[in-house]
Amino acid sequence: MCRYNTNKSPIDSDLCKFGTSNLIASTYDSQVGIRSLGVFPESGVEFTLRSNKINFDNYDWGYPSDNFKYLSSNTLYANNQADIASLLAASTTIANGDVISPSSGLYQATISSLDLPIANQYLYLIYDYRTTSCQSFCYDASSSSNACCECTLPCVAFLGSNRQQESTVICNQPLVNTYYHTGSGTYPAVGDFVYSSSVCISSQAVSLTAGYYKSEATKYIRVGSSGIVTELVTCPTP
C-alpha cells in the first residue's frame, strides 16, 4: 500500500510600518534557514503569500494596484534605492486575477509549484504596497496660453454598475449609477480617468474606487487606485 502525505509548514507573519520612500523597503526582513525545514520551502511546493489586516492595522489592500511579487535568485539585493529598483524589475508579479479574498481584510495568492533552483540561495517575497497616481494634462504644441487657459478636458457621463471586488460577478450587475470619464468616446476606454463626480478636473473631482464596474451592456472595466481604467473586457456570451 502506498500512502501520500501532505506536509504544511508553519506560518511566518510580521507587522509592517510604512515608510515614505517607494524605493526603500518599509520592512526588509532577512531570515536564514535550510530548505524544507520550518518556514523555508523546498522547490516544487505549493506556496501562499498573504496580506492580512488584523487588530490595530489601519491599511486597506488597494485592489487591484497592490501586488505580490517573488524572486528566486543568487543575487543579494540590499535595502537601498539601486538594489530595490533592480529587485522589483527582476521579480515576478502574481497576476491580480490570481489574488483572492477569503475573508474581510485578507488577500492571498498561491503559487502552485514554486521553482527554487538549487544554485539560488535567496528567495525574495515582496509585498508591493506602493501608491501610484496619474493625472491628465493639457497640451498645445505652439502656445503656452492655449495649454494654460484655453484647455478643457472632457467629462462624459455613462451608466455603470456598483463596484465589485471580483470580476466573476460583474457581468450580472445592473447599470444603476451615473459616472463620468475623460475619454473621447461614449464609454470609458483603457487609459481614461473615471469619476463618481460630474467634475472631472479640479480638487472637487472624486475618482472611482479601485475595482470592477460594468460600463456597457456587454462590457466591464477594471479601475486602478488612481481612478484610471486599466482594463476593458467583453462579457462572455451566456
Split the chain (238 residues) into runs of 10 and give each run's mean pLDDT. Answer: 66 86 85 93 95 87 82 96 91 89 90 95 93 63 68 85 90 96 92 89 83 95 84 87
Report which DSSP code applies to 124.
Answer: E
Residue 21 has what pLDDT? 75
Q: Is the peptide bond before 41 cis (omega within 30 degrees of 0)?
A: no
Residue 189 has what pLDDT? 92
Residue 96 has what pLDDT? 81
Give the C-alpha separation, 5 to 107, whole Å. Answer: 27
Cβ atoms of 44 and 114 within 8 Å: the answer is yes
Residue 146 has what pLDDT? 65
The H-or-E segment that residue 83 falls in is helix 81-90
Residue 74 has what pLDDT? 97
Cβ atoms of 14 and 27 within 8 Å: the answer is yes
Residue 224 has what pLDDT? 80
Angle, CA of 103, 104 and 105, to the nearest 5°: 110
Report which DSSP code applies to 41.
Answer: P
Residue whose C-alpha cell reads 495649454 in the numeric block: 147
For residue 73, count CB atoms less than 10 angstroms from its CB and return exposed for 0-12, middle for 13-18, buried for 19 or more.
middle
Residue 142 has what pLDDT? 75
Task: Name 125's bridge partners.
Answer: 70
